[in-house]
Amino acid sequence: MRKILFLTWSLLSTVCFGQEAASDSLSALRSDSAALASETFSTENAGEVGKAEADSAYMKNDYTSAIQIYETLLNKGEAAEIYYNLGNCYFKTGDIAKAILNYERALLLQPGNSDIRANLEIARSKTIDKVEPAPEIFFVTWANDLANSMSERAWSILSIAFFLSFIAALYFFIFSRQVVVKKMGFFAGLVCFVLVILANVFAAQQKNKLIQRDKAIIMNPSVTVHSTPSEGGTELFVLHEGSKVRIKDNSMKEWKEIQLEDGKVGWVPAVTIEVI
């Protein structure tokens, strides 16, 4: 009985930790688009009016005005919907780099949104550089795809549901007098236990993406990647606007070491990239 109580307490601590982490990151980010009106902007009515004006400008093909309003709204707080609409505006004006940047930011807040992902892929198809990701084990790919199917908040809520299911299964396992029910409670509890752990791991993974922000987009029409952080370094290759990179070394102000999805590394001027 003590072991069961200890296991329950351990799981509860894990879930609480996951929810506390989620709460902290949500506070820092203000919201995801599911709570756009209530959490993103300091004044609900002002935010709604501003968004309505931007949406109206977009529908009238006045993309310049829409961009200005959306950018102003984002100064008050992040929201996936605003980033998505802003990305659409930049795409319509032919600014592929900024379109990709804003689609990527929207996807950080709503990783499971199929519309954002579809538009991002369309924008990427317009870029010059076609970088093939380094091959990885199928299980890693599957796990990443599963983690990216929902936001941190959604995984956190799901972990609570799995934990409550685990408690219910544990109750039947302990107190039921029927052997069949006990067995069902045991196996159901075991499955829920695994799901609680996975949900919290995926929530933590999504939180790290939101906090680290180590991905960036090349914003210049073209940039030469050097072997060292100086113009005198050996020229390795050239990247064009819209390419996605990972910032490998962020210790210098003027230069950043980047890594491509295919594993290539090099140094670029900090002004040529913008962090997602």
pLDDT in tens, 23-42: 444 443 344 443 333 344 44
Instruction: Return the H-helix or E-strand segment holding 186.
Output: helix 179-212
Q: Which residue has the higher pLDDT, 11 or 161?
A: 161
CA dihedral 211, 213, 214, 215 (to 10 degrees): 150
CA dihedral 34, 38, 43, 44 (to 10 degrees): 80
Q: Average pLDDT over the chain, rounded to whole?
A: 85
State the pLDDT confidence band at 19, using cuts at 50, 70 and 90: very low
- pTM, 2 dp: 0.77
State the pLDDT confidence band at 117, using cuts at 50, 70 and 90: very high
Please name which of 147, 86, 153 lies closest in space to residue 119, comparing C-alpha atoms.
86
Whether the predicted pLDDT of 100 surpasses 70: yes
Q: For position 249, what pLDDT does the model report?
A: 94
Burial degree of 209 (CB within 10 A; 0-12, 13-18, 19+): middle
Q: For position 42, what pLDDT does the model report?
A: 43
Across the range 173-185, mean pLDDT stands at: 92
Among 144-148, 188-192, 196-200, the range scoring the smallest mean pLDDT is 144-148
H runs (alpha helix) in 77-178: 80-92, 96-109, 114-124, 138-147, 152-175
CA distance 216 to 228: 19
User: What's the pLDDT tens digit per position in 124-168?
Assistant: 999 999 888 877 788 888 888 899 888 889 999 999 999 999 999
Q: For position 182, what pLDDT does the model report?
A: 92
Q: How far is CA 12 from CA 117, 151, 168, 190, 204, in A?
A: 34, 21, 14, 15, 16
**Total residue length of the chain:** 276
State the pLDDT confidence band at 45, using cuts at 50, 70 and 90: low
Instruction: Give the type of residue at 161.
Output: A
Q: For position 35, what pLDDT does the model report?
A: 38
C-alpha angle 153-158-164 in degrees, rounded to nearest 5: 135
Q: For position 50, what pLDDT does the model report?
A: 83
Q: For position 6, what pLDDT does the model report?
A: 46
Whether the predicted pLDDT of 115 surpasses 80: yes
Among 38-42, 109-113, 127-131, 203-207, the range scoring the smallest mean pLDDT is 38-42
Q: For position 1, what pLDDT does the model report?
A: 47
Burial annotation 247-270 (CB, 10 A radius, 16+ → b, else e): beeeeeeebbbbebeeeeebbbeb
